[in-house]
A = this chain, B = another copy of it.
Amino acid sequence: MITLADARRIIAAAEKKAEEIKQPMNIAVVDAGANLIAHVRMDDAWIGSIDIAINKAFTSRAFDIDTKTLATLSQPDDDFFGIQDSNHGRVMIFAGGIPIKKGRKVVGAIGVSGGKGKQDQAVAEAGAAAY
């Protein structure tokens, strides 16, 4: 179970990384039910990334998968092409969403949006590592 205190620690680690790479981000954490625990938009981060960060976190827990991996699986002609049309627009198929695990068990996820794929991914990894 991820508490609000956990989510804040995860977000703080992600923010620190975002500051290091000088890219303001939206950062969101969801629980085991894929429901939002906390979200922050750093100053000057994209408005359009609010929805994306929250839904990358949703997606990662909804399918227990990195959205970076899902990105390759959902390209045209691949197995999951079309998954993005499900769940009322909540499935994000590009890097920045990572499941948060307790041992092998997925207990939630982090979603990051505000830069290029590699940047979002790096910030999400820093956040997930802080659980």
Contact = CB atoms under 8 A, between A and B. Distances in A.
Nearest to A32: B33
A35 B36 contact: no
Contact of A34 (B35, B43, B59): B35
Contacts of A7: 40
Interface string A88-115: 1101111100000000000000000000
Interface in A35-61: 35-43, 46-52, 55, 58-59, 61
Interface residues of A, number: 54
Contacts of A48: 34, 58-59, 62-63, 86-87, 91
A20 interface: no
A84 interface: yes
A34 B41 CA distance: 13
B3 A43 contact: yes
In order of increasing CB-CB distance, the 5 nearest A-B pairs are: A33-B33, A48-B62, A82-B93, A79-B117, A84-B85
